[in-house]
Amino acid sequence: MELFKVMSVEQVKEILEKSFNYSLGMEEVSLEEAYGRIVGESIISKTDVPNFRRSTVDGYAVNSKAVAGASESMPSILTLKGEVLMGQEPKVQLDSQEQCIYVPTGGMIPEGSDSVVMIEYTEKLDEDTILINKPSANGEKVVQVGEDIAAGEVVINKGSRLRAYELGVLSSLGFSKVSVFKKPKIGVISTGDEIVGVEEIPKKGQVRDINTYILYSSILRDGCKPINYGVVRDNYHQLQNTMTAAIEECDIVLVSGGSSVGTKDQTMKVIQSFKDAEIFVHGISIKPGKPTILGKVNGKAVFGLPGHPLSCSIVYEIIVKALIDKIINSDEKQYPVNCTFGVNYHKSKGREEYLPVIIKEEEGGLLAEPIFSKSGLITGFSKAYGYIKIEKNLEGLREGEKVAVYKFF
């Protein structure tokens, strides 16, 4: 029986970087379709935001010199000149320092004024007289022209993933469309005589298809277009026909199951059957996920992923997603949650391990505890908040040790 010739995670990522070059191009989409997409070129503002001076509070627009030294015992006495209506230019202005004008939050600051006093620090003596009980510095409670965004400023960088907040910024700048990188198509194939569709009732020795839906959802999350090719039996010709169709249609092909070295594992044989096929990896020094294949057919990446759901998911997150980020030009970073590890945990040296954990809120902070679940089981894994990466040269983690937890999205 052939044995794995394992590579480190770093070596596999180097192969991904050097061996695959995709040019997917860009497309223009409406803001309604842009959520989660990757910006194809840096977006530059064509206007100032705001394009007028506006108040941040309900209050009175004043000249700051007129209220210098104002207090409750010695208020400044100003004449009310009028008010500013929301969404309209002021129809009045300050002709002298002894005047003030009422402005609502977001209202335009009238000429002659340089600051706003909150209404809480004022008193209306009569219809025309306002007492100011607090001084106001030049520019206080005022947003200046271009203070949020200046014309010519880069507001969203190339490679950024568009969230609701970025889309809000774009709408404020008058962009109704945005140029984004096209979505890579990723084919998903599940293999195994023991795998049946979700609608079927499994017989003894069979299980419903899990990996297709984990991978499909993960691909959607990562801004790509998944294509489901269904369940394929451990049959060389059937898998070859399905993989041929997937390679023609997709940019990346993921085959879950059949990646080990058993007599019925067909994935490696099928990849090798293609005329220009290259096999870069058969085995990664990672736990879980050792029996992983990385090949290249027609310039496209073909992955043979482990059949166990946990192993399949971890390899997707650590290896496949690295290639996806390269293809879609994503510069998105994932920042971990810092926790205290809750137990003593032993692992073998020589392999990176990705340990699913839950997070508990304790009096002293956040506590991370491993989910002890065999890799073929899914319910425990689904309860995990995220995972901890344990370096290959370590023998485990100690209770009380500080760890970084990366979230499963």
C-alpha 280/C-alpha 294 separation (Å) is 6
Task: Please identify which residue in the block is written with the tokens 């002298």.
Answer: 96
Q: What is the pLDDT of residue 263?
A: 46
C-alpha 146/C-alpha 144 separation (Å) is 6
C-alpha 182/C-alpha 39 separation (Å) is 10
Task: Please identify which residue in the block is written with the tokens 């206080």.
Answer: 140
Yes or no: say if 303 and 253 are a contact pair by the CB < 8 Å rule.
Answer: yes
Q: What is the pLDDT of residue 332?
A: 82
Yes or no: say if 287 and 354 are a contact pair by the CB < 8 Å rule.
Answer: yes
Q: Among 328, 323, 305, 322, which Cα is nearest to 215's? A: 305
Query: Which structure tokens are listed for 120?
Result: 């809480």
Q: Which residues of the chain have pLDDT under 70?
A: 1-4, 259-265, 373-378, 380
Question: 354: left (phi > 0), else alpha (psi -120 to 50), else beta?
Answer: beta
CATH of domain 9-24+183-327: 3.40.980.10
DSSP-derived letter for residue 66 is G
DSSP-derived letter for residue 84 is P
Q: Look up residue 408 and give its amino acid.
A: F
Yes or no: say if 150 and 46 are a contact pair by the CB < 8 Å rule.
Answer: no
Q: What is the pLDDT of residues 189-228, one digit of tens each?
A: 999 989 998 899 999 989 999 999 999 999 999 999 999 9
Instruction: Tell me the whole-structure pTM to 2 decimals.
Output: 0.82
Q: What is the pLDDT of residue 321?
A: 96
Vertex 371: Cα angle to 370 and 375 (nearest 5): 125
C-alpha 262/C-alpha 266 separation (Å) is 9
Q: Among 178, 254, 177, 241, which Cα is nearest to 212's? A: 254
Q: How many CB atoms lie within 10 A of CB 374?
A: 10
Vertex 12: Cα angle to 11 and 15 (nearest 5): 90
Could you write out the DSSP letters of every residue in 103-149? Answer: E-TTPBPPTT--EEEEGGGEEEEETTEEEE-S---TTTTEEPTTSSB
C-alpha 110/C-alpha 212 separation (Å) is 61
* Domain spans of the chain, in order of start: 9-24+183-327, 32-49+150-181, 54-143, 337-407
Residue 321 three-state SS = helix
Yes or no: say if 397 and 390 are a contact pair by the CB < 8 Å rule.
Answer: yes
Q: Among 229, 230, 232, 312, which Cα is nearest to 264's? A: 232
Q: What is the pLDDT of residue 164?
A: 96
Residue 242 three-state SS = helix
Q: What is the pLDDT of residue 373?
A: 64
DSSP-derived letter for residue 305 is E
The residues near 53 (Cβ < 8 Å, ≥ 6 apart) are 108, 109, 142, 143, 144, 145
Could you write out the DSSP letters of every residue in 175-221? Answer: -SEEEEEPPPEEEEEEE-TTEE-TTS---TT-EE--HHHHHHHHHHH
Q: What is the pLDDT of residue 302?
A: 98
Q: How many CB atoms lie within 10 A of CB 148?
A: 16
Superfamily covering domain 54-143 = Molybdopterin biosynthesis moea protein, domain 3. (2.170.190.11)
Q: What is the pLDDT of residue 208?
A: 92
Burial of 384 from C-beta contacts in 10 A (0-12 / 13-18 / 19+): buried
CATH 3.30.9.10 for the 32-49+150-181 domain, yes or no: no
CATH 2.40.340.10 for the 337-407 domain, yes or no: yes
